[in-house]
Amino acid sequence: MPDQKTEPPHFPKKSHFLHAKQEKVVVRGQHDIAYNVTPHSALDEHIIKNGIYGDWIANQDVIQIAKDAVIFDVGANAGFLSLIFAKRYAPNGAVYAYEPDPVIFEQLQENLAVNDSIKNLFLNQIALQDDPGKTESLFNIRRAIDGDANENCGLSSLLNIQLHTVDRVTVNVSTLDKEVSSLSLQRLDFIKIDVEGCENIVLAGGRHSIIQFKPTILWEFSRIIDKLSGNRNSTESFSYLSELGYLHFAISETEGLKAALSPDDLVADLNILSFHQEKIPNNLR
């Protein structure tokens, strides 16, 4: 998520994946969740130091998620929030995690494997987009070195962004609507989307499900990625959801939720929590 998106000055193309060379260790973090981590990986180091990642959403009590909720984690990375969703928020529900990056997906599998008690997290090595007729797509593997010399592996994208791209691979793709239909879901309560500038196409590919179920949506608003990719993903995502009846709240790790009336009001990279107007929590009305 955005607090890990600091762009370093350079990173050599075709470089080896640094964290794949390191010895992995299992650590137990907050909410009694275990992680198979690698030192010198930026997100893993956050787990090692803090015992949790995505601190506000992982620990918040402002919004209520039903214990039997159905949750989609799109751009799940190594499962740092997927595991929280499955264990803390919806232990009686189901969490479907989507992560196409092959190296990161392997770590996602490892993180689930070291949590024997979590049985309601289902992993999919698939990228979600907006074309229901497409089954494969090129995927850009991006790696970077943050200012603290840790490797940031959370940058890969369907977008062809030159900066920090070290490889391109073919991955399976689907749409949110196709996944909801194939799973025969009768509800969809919450969606988290962190897909490095492709939030708009994930939303477009889930239009029917979003209109039908009106899920709460946590997504990334990033001017940095929009500039790198030359698109208007953040503004388009904001406007798209607004047209479907959603109200937006910017997340501050220190101040919590603050209403965002227009994308023009948002200049920093941040995460947004969007509620359908029919499902606004009472404490936010």
Is pTM beyond 0.75? Reply is: yes
Region 32-53 average pLDDT: 90
| Contact call for residues 159 and 197 (beta carbons, < 8 A) | yes
pLDDT at position 226: 93
Strand, helix or coil at 201? helix
* Residue whose structure tokens are 């708009």: 200
Region 223-249 average pLDDT: 96
In a domain, 180, yes or no: yes
Identify the CATH number of the domain in which residue 159 sits. 3.40.50.150
Domain count, the chain: 1
Q: Per mean pLDDT, which range of 37-41, 113-117, 235-239 is the poorest?
A: 37-41
In a domain, 29, yes or no: no
pLDDT at position 8: 36
In a domain, 37, yes or no: no
Residue 56 banded pLDDT, cuts 50, 70, 90: confident
In a domain, 265, yes or no: yes
In a domain, 43, yes or no: no
**Mean pLDDT over the full length of the chain:** 90
In a domain, 31, yes or no: no
Q: What is the pLDDT of residues 114-126, one digit of tens each?
A: 999 999 999 999 9
In a domain, 41, yes or no: no
DSSP for residue 23: P
Q: Which domain holds residue 83?
A: 2-23+53-284
pLDDT at position 73: 98
Residue of 47, 54, 39, 51 whose CA lies nearest to 150? 39
Q: Per mean pLDDT, which range of 33-37, 117-121, 160-164 is the poorest?
A: 160-164
In a domain, 230, yes or no: yes
Strand ranges for the chain from DSSP E:
25-28, 34-37, 70-74, 94-98, 121-124, 126-129, 136-142, 144-145, 151-152, 165-175, 190-193, 216-221, 246-252, 256-260, 270-276
- Cα separation of the two ends of the chain: 26
